[in-house]
Amino acid sequence: MGNKCCSCDSSRKRKSGSSSYTQQTPPHLDINPSAVGQHPQNLTTRKIVVALYNYEARDSQDISFYKGDRMEVQNNSDPDWLFVQHLNTGRQGYIPGVLVAIELSVESEDWFFENISRIEAEKLLLGDTSQSRGIFLIRTSEHIPDGYALSVKNWDMDNGYSVKHYRIKRMDTGEYFISFHQGRKKAFNSLAELIVAYSEMNLPNLCYTLTKPCRKPEPTMKDLAYGYKDKWEIPRDEIELVKSIGEGNFGEVWYGKCRNRFEVAVKTLRKTDTKSREEFLQEGAIMKKVQHRRLVRLYGICSKGEPIYIITEYMANGSLLDYLKKDQGHTLKFEDLIYIASQVASGMAHLESLNLIHRNLGARNILLDDYNSIKICDFGLSRFVKTGEVYTAITLDLKFPVKWTAPEALNYPNIFSHKSDVWSYGVFLMELFTFGQIPYEEIPISEVPGLISSGYRMPKPEDLPTEIYKMIEKCWHEQPNKRPPFKDLEYYFESIDVKYSDKSQNSQNLVLIRNGPHCYEDHNLKIK
């Protein structure tokens, strides 16, 4: 994103940090005009950052701060960890770059959400129960280069809670205005001024007066603490196994604590033979190379002593498969399932771009958090390939996920590619839209490969829209090169808007609309 700054300074309430700060000797003071965390604003003229969240120091080299605190950047050669001086306490130390933004920039505003989709905005707004109407956010536009969109939570008797989206356009003079069906343009010098006006005045055309910014989820930090940066080996005595939460390819998965403070997931190696050990460590090596918001983040390993641990971020709701089968899973609406499908496709598209074949995609290997956000896990069978090449397995393990595996990978010479992952994604979609039903449930596993090779495909579930089932069938095309790439699948599910033909919001009465300009309130297209 460019250097877009708000012209007005909003007053902020600040607390002085009382946590233990550690005085540090600053490293070299060369200010490199690069990104601050995920906020690529220029630091040559503004070296003050403002905290977007609270943060408690995690080791002797970083410092604590509260939301709204101001700090001067002393060194930003590593955008993940900035060396700063706290302007209130005078303390110096490292802070996570992802938790701050340049002061007065649009990224520093509570209402600004960078690089989230329309469907993500709706999930966040509808999931925020702190206020019934008028909660809002501004996000970068999916359809207009350098444009913005205003998303507002609304309520009415006919539709209940919903989200309205408005395009924010910029005039040649640099002023901003909301695009409506009709009426004069009311322009403002900055996005901040626009927000203030629509919060304080009863201006026409907006569905409701803006009340407060949507609650913003805290981003995942790259490292547990600065002291763990680029640290592959974590001392075993810093990890506590608290509760067993599942089984992985190699052994148990535990909910644990690091240094008695940080929640983590711990994968353990059950067997100690050399081959299992090498494969287990290979999984950790792969996870270290692939970082994406839809992939589980690796923090480190414990390879000294037994058993070996892989330490990853912890996802509170566990596996998507288990969640779908429980009562809370059946509270998910169809639009929630579409959102999950789009996120999985996004993560797999990233793996595809890295030439990494997952080989074990299924609802069991997708984790869920409190916002219905997902992360793909279990890279124990994953393999890197060169562009355009495939991976040929010499043998398949007896525990290999046969029902999720493409026919060309099941039959000799066991060829795997990104297109075999697409096949698995189609099977995952059936799990998703049937709330965790077992694929080919009535068919013995030994008969599945033969049936698939002869052209059999799982039938369409009764409540699943035909359009979506046709996309699933494309994922199961017998010719791998005719299956869609994950980037297309990501776009397909992100562009679906779910509406209902009556108040019941029953799956029998849903209407799928392709997202585009008509999803904004200044478009005249009506749903019939």
Can you name the residues that pair with 383 across neighbouring β-strands?
Answer: 357
Question: Which tokens in the block code for residue 218?
Answer: 């805290």
Residue 157 burial by Cβ neighbours in a 10 Å radius (0-12, 13-18, 19+) = exposed
The number of beta carbons lying within 10 Å of the beta carbon of residue 287 is: 23
Question: Which tokens in the block code for residue 71?
Answer: 């700090």
359: left (phi over 0), alpha (psi -120 to 50) or beta: left
What is the C-alpha separation between 268 and 265, in angstroms, rounded?
Answer: 10
CA distances from 70 to 47, 105, 260, 322 (A): 10, 13, 29, 43
Strands annotated E in 76-224: 81-86, 92-96, 100-102, 112-113, 136-140, 148-156, 160-170, 176-178
Q: Minimal CA–CA distance to 377: which of 301, 299, 298, 302?
A: 298
Q: Are 300 and 280 in contact (CB under 8 A)?
A: no
Residue that the structure tokens 């702190």 belong to: 130
- C-alpha 86, offset from chain centre: 30
Q: Are 245 and 258 in contact (CB under 8 A)?
A: no
Amino acid symbol at 70: R
Omega cis (within 30) before 217? no
Amino acid symbol at 393: A
Phi, psi of 175 (to 5 degrees): -80, 155
Long-range own/partner contacts, residues 469-478 (CB < 8 A, 24 or more apart): 472/426, 472/429, 472/430, 473/426, 474/426, 475/422, 475/423, 475/425, 475/426, 475/429, 476/423, 476/426, 478/407
Helix/strand/coil (H, E, C) string of 313-357?
Answer: ECCCCCEHHHHHHCHHHHHCCHHHHHHHHHHHHHHHHHHHHCCEE
Q: What is the DSSP letter of 146?
A: T
Length of the chain: 528
**470 a known binding residue?**
no
Residue ranges of the annotated binding site are 267
Residue ranges of the annotated binding site for ATP are 267
